[in-house]
Each structure stands twice: as C-alpha cells, then as structure tokens.
C-alpha cells in the first residue's frame, strides 16, 4: 500500500525544524541552514543539484533511500517560497531554478488559487486550496501506486501528524541549538497517535530516527 512519508527532515537538538524570520535571504529561517549540514556534503544531495562527487556512508545512504519509490510530493507554501497572501503574479517558481529536484508532480498547499507550473525535469507544481486531505488524495492519484513524500515545512508536517495521516518519518537530529523558530513536535502526543521509533542511527553529523505509525 502506498505511504505518506517524511524523509530527511532536520531538526535541532531543541526541536526546531526551522529558524525564525524566514525570508528570501534566509529561506530556512535565521540559523536554519545549520540543520542540514549533515546532508550538504553527501553524494545524494550534490546530485540533486547537478553536482559531482560527495560523501558516501550512512548519511548518504539514508538520504538516498528517501527518494526510493516516490511518485509525488506535497509541500506547504512556506517551502515553495517566501511570498504571503494572494499571488501577485506568476513570476515566483520556487527556490530551485528551472529544474527543481523533485521530478514528479508536487502539490503546494495554499489558500490562494494559482495555475499549475510545469518545470524542467518532469516537475509540475500544482496549487491546492482544498486542504491537506484534498492534497493527499490528488498526490496519491498522481503517484499511481508509489509513495508520496511530504516535504514540509514544519506547519505542514504538524497538520498531517495531528490528522494521523503520516505513515513514516525520518528525522535527522542535527547537533545544533536554535533557541527559537518552528517547533516540530511541541504539543503533539506521538504515542497516542500510534507512532513509535523503529530505527535510529548515529553518525558524526546527525542522529537519524525513523518513526512509523503502527
């Protein structure tokens, strides 16, 4: 059965999945880039952006498996870009340039309608205004039996967690403290929602934890 999966989502030791004050200059919030240091040097991450080389080992293996069997993505509007409110025009097409690293249909949660955008490399962004369940239904249909990857940000993952719709999560806990920002698990009782830890791997750069719904 197809799953809704969170993969390679990084948080700080104090539980924040993004720093404060997200902007064009700080797309992950102030200090948020440090959460992803474990991934930047990996072969998987570098290939995503058309670069050669990169490290292998546990960090790379875990990052790579997050792309296995993925047929569609869902993301929140904050992950797509820094623009708030009604779309002023069609010019903003994401943080990633003309060839985003998704290569599948990607469904963006928003309160404001917008036409779909077809990008290079088989990525098409669709803008969904009927909520998280509607986005999941459309993504599952598009994935055609493969899994759907939920890309974040924090608010989007929290909504799907509260609804009990996430089947599996890989969280990378980075050895850094942010002090403030967007807390991933605050106020969420994961055991009562049926989640348990099924795997954990510690590397020099992160502690990787896999949580599944039982």
Least confident stretch, 38-47, 101-110, 200-209:
38-47
Residue linked to tokens 């797509």? 80
pLDDT at site 112? 96
User: Looking at the predicted structure, is the pLDDT value of residue 29 above 80?
Assistant: yes
One DSSP character per residue, 19-74 reads -SS--SS-TT-TTGGGGGHHHHTBHHHHHHTT----B-SHHHHHHHHTTTTEEEEE
Rounded to whole angstroms, the Cα distance separating 175 from 12 reads 7
Number of Cβ atoms within 10 Å of the Cβ of 2:
16
CATH class of 1-6+35-82+99-186+198-207: alpha beta
What share of the chain has pLDDT > 90, as a percent?
A: 82
Residue-range domain boundaries for the chain? 1-6+35-82+99-186+198-207
pTM of the predicted model as reported, rounded to 2 decimal places: 0.94
| pLDDT tens-digit map of 137-164 | 999 999 999 999 999 899 999 999 999 9
Q: Which residue has the higher pLDDT, 189 or 49?
A: 189
CA distance 191 to 209: 15
């Amino acid at each position: 059965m197809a799953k809704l999966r969170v993969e390679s989502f990084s948080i700080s030791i104090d539980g924040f999945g993004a720093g404060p004050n997200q902007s064009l200059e700080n797309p992950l919030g102030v200090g948020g880039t440090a959460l992803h240091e474990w991934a930047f040097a990996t072969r998987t991450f570098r290939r995503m952006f058309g670069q050669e080389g990169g490290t292998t080992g546990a960090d790379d293996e875990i990052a790579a498996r997050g792309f296995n069997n993925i047929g569609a993505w869902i993301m929140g509007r904050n992950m797509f870009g820094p623009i708030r409110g009604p779309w002023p025009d069609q010019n903003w097409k994401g943080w990633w340039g003309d060839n985003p690293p998704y290569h599948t249909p990607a469904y963006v949660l928003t309160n404001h309608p917008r036409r779909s955008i077809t990008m290079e490399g088989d990525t098409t962004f669709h803008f969904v205004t009927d909520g998280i369940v509607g986005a999941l239904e459309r993504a599952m249909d598009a994935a055609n039996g493969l899994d759907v990857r939920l890309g974040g940000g924090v608010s989007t993952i929290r909504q799907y967690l509260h609804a009990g719709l996430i089947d599996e999560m890989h969280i990378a806990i980075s050895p850094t403290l942010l002090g403030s920002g967007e807390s991933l698990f605050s106020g969420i009782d994961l055991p009562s929602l049926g989640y348990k830890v099924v795997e954990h791997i510690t590397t020099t750069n992160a502690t990787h934890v896999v949580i599944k719904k039982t």
